[in-house]
Structure 1
Amino acid sequence: MLKPVPSPAVKSYETNLNGRDFVVGDIHGHFNLLRSLLEQAGFDEAKDRVFSAGDLIDRGPYSDEVIAWLKQPWFHAVRGNHEQMIVECAMGLGDIPRHIRNGGAWFHEAPAASQSGIFEVVNDLPIMLEIELPDGRTVGLVHAEAPTLQWSDGWPEAKAYLAGHAGEEWQQQALKCALYSRKKIENSDHSIVEGIDTIYVGHSTVADVTKLGNVVYFDTGCSFGDGALSLIDINTGAIFQRPTTAD
């Protein structure tokens, strides 16, 4: 059950002329790992920014910190399928047992006021975002896969689908693809998504940061005991990682 797409579905961020920009993979409630990574990278809250690939919550021990993180002016995120499950459940249309099986018990055990606050912040998350870099490149971020629904589609068409320009049916297909699809990585598809320089995605767990065409997969599985959380400086490509066991 997919719900109405947030407005705007795609957010754009201008060049950060004063500091660095980082992307972080699926956090799944392991916000302590993220704190350690930011310290390791020498993150400066006054100048730098962090962009999350979604799935901020569920499975990990600190999911209830999600509101505090999303209130930080330097922390930005797209919606993942785990945020989508909260949206659907909070609207009375979701599969609560399914969400609980996937690590969502913490949400359903929380007081109603807390549930409401969490719903409000995750419901506002865009589906995709794009970031302008100082060297003129444009980087995209989406949880699972850019919704290029036809063979000739690129990043501009994906944005148009999510904006509803092709109608509700295509918009819903695009939303499902953006949140859940693994088609590109399952097919080892090295084709380039046109209209964007690099796209960072989570959702599909990889042992190491992996690039297919111009799409970078960097959910290195911090929700699993043998995984890690990955943070990437998108200007330099430097990778910072902390194993789940460090949490």
Structure 2
Amino acid sequence: MATYAIGDVQGCYSNLRRLLDRVGFEPSRDRLWFVGDLVNRGPDSLHVLRFIKGLGPSATVVLGNHDVFLLAVSAGVATLRPQDTIQAILSAPDRDDLLEWVRRQRLLYREPPFVLVHAGLLPQWSLDEAEALAREAEDALQGAHREAALRALYPSQHLQWAPGLTGPARPAAIIKVLTRIRACSRDGVMESSYSGPPERIPPGFQPWFAVKERRHRDATIICGHWASLGLHCQDNLLAIDSGCVWGRELTAIRLEDRQVFQVPCNGDQ
């Protein structure tokens, strides 16, 4: 049995299937861990969702910002933009089943020594705290007041996490951290707009995983979200968004030995 962590697919269905052929994935034997952003910007988000949903217990998924955006659009909280490619999901005959499946996915998955999350964690969060906060936000997304939480997230440029947050802003801030963080200050203030390479981060901020004081350094965080960072592996970090949707590569890492597998992605654009 092998477990493969897979970077941001973003609707690139044929590339995903080629990557699974490349690693010799067998659903009855192996597991796939997806770092989120299953959908959007690529050409075939509908088939990506149907395929991964159909994998059942062979697939573990955490939500990314594009997956949350799909939920927000379906709820009438956010509006489609010209670059979005999720329309086929919203008009599909199995739309409701797919959206309910997306809504039931986790924001953080922990299986020591690994933590699977889309974007990252705030430096002041311990692993136990991050896991508890993720469960809290998941409950909000699945509960009767989920639209209120999504409305607090769109727009969210000035939203920052604070322990004293209450109401819809609290789960919205948790979701923002887990699905959007790239850079932050030493005390956990997020830089909300930057998506470029780490060496150009605005003054006063640094990559979230570079904060020396962060409280979860003993775990290996598996994440995506930061295409400009690219494939970046170190002792306690596997950042595997290698820019598939931007015509670069789709990456899988076999967790047992950290072997990297990639397929070029120009053919799916």
Structure 1-normalised TM-score?
0.78
Distance 2:51 2:251 in 1: 21
Distance 1:208 1:195 in 2: 21
Residues 155 and 195, structure 1, Cα contact 8 Å, conserved in 2: no
3-state DSSP of counterpart to 2:15: helix
Match among 114, 117, 134 for residue 139 of structure 1: 114
Match among 20, 39, 50 for residue 67 of structure 1: 50
Residues 145 and 182, structure 1, Cα contact 8 Å, conserved in 2: yes
Distance 1:213 1:152 in 2: 20
What residue is the counterpart of 2:238 in the other structure? 216
What residue is the counterpart of 1:48 in the other structure? 30
Match among 71, 79, 92 for residue 87 of structure 1: 71
What residue is the counterpart of 1:238 in the other structure? 259
Unaligned runs of 5+ residues in structure 2 are 138-162, 185-197
Which digits, 9 at most, give the CA deviation of each residue in 1:139-175, with x for residues without a partner? 11111112x2xx5322222112223496555443221
3-state DSSP of counterpart to 2:110: strand
Distance 1:68 1:34 in 2: 10
Deviation at 1:77, TM superposition (A): 0.9
Residues 58 and 106, structure 1, Cα contact 8 Å, conserved in 2: no
Distance 1:114 1:172 in 2: 27
Deviation at 1:213, TM superposition (A): 6.5
Residues 217 and 236, structure 2, Cα contact 8 Å, conserved in 1: no
Structure 2-normalised TM-score?
0.72
Deviation at 1:92, TM superposition (A): 2.2
Kindly report structure 1 stretches of 4+ aligned residues shifted beyond 6 Å: none
Give, as a single letter, the amino acid of the residue that structure 1 aligns with 2:120.
E
What residue is the counterpart of 2:188 in the other structure? none
What residue is the counterpart of 1:23 in the other structure? 5
Deviation at 1:34, TM superposition (A): 1.8
Alignment RMSD: 2.4
Deviation at 1:211, TM superposition (A): 3.4
Give, as a single letter, the amino acid of the residue that structure 1 aligns with 2:24.
G
Residues 200 and 215, structure 1, Cα contact 8 Å, conserved in 2: yes
What residue is the counterpart of 2:191 in the other structure? none
- 1:120 equivalent to 2:100? Answer yes
Distance 1:46 1:163 in 2: 28
In structure 2, relative to structure 1, the CA distance for the partners of 1:23 and 1:115 (3 Å cut) is same
Residues 10 and 42, structure 2, Cα contact 8 Å, conserved in 1: yes
Residues 22 and 232, structure 1, Cα contact 8 Å, conserved in 2: yes
What residue is the counterpart of 2:225 in the other structure? 203
Distance 1:182 1:207 in 2: 9
Residues 41 and 83, structure 2, Cα contact 8 Å, conserved in 1: no
Residues 230 and 243, structure 2, Cα contact 8 Å, conserved in 1: no
3-state DSSP of counterpart to 1:97: coil
Distance 2:215 2:254 in 1: 21
In structure 2, relative to structure 1, the CA distance for the partners of 1:213 and 1:233 (3 Å cut) is closer
In structure 2, relative to structure 1, the CA distance for the partners of 1:183 and 1:194 (3 Å cut) is same
In structure 2, relative to structure 1, the CA distance for the partners of 1:159 and 1:118 (3 Å cut) is same
Deviation at 1:224, TM superposition (A): 1.0
3-state DSSP of counterpart to 2:225: strand
Residues 27 and 55, structure 2, Cα contact 8 Å, conserved in 1: no
- 1:156 equivalent to 2:131? Answer no
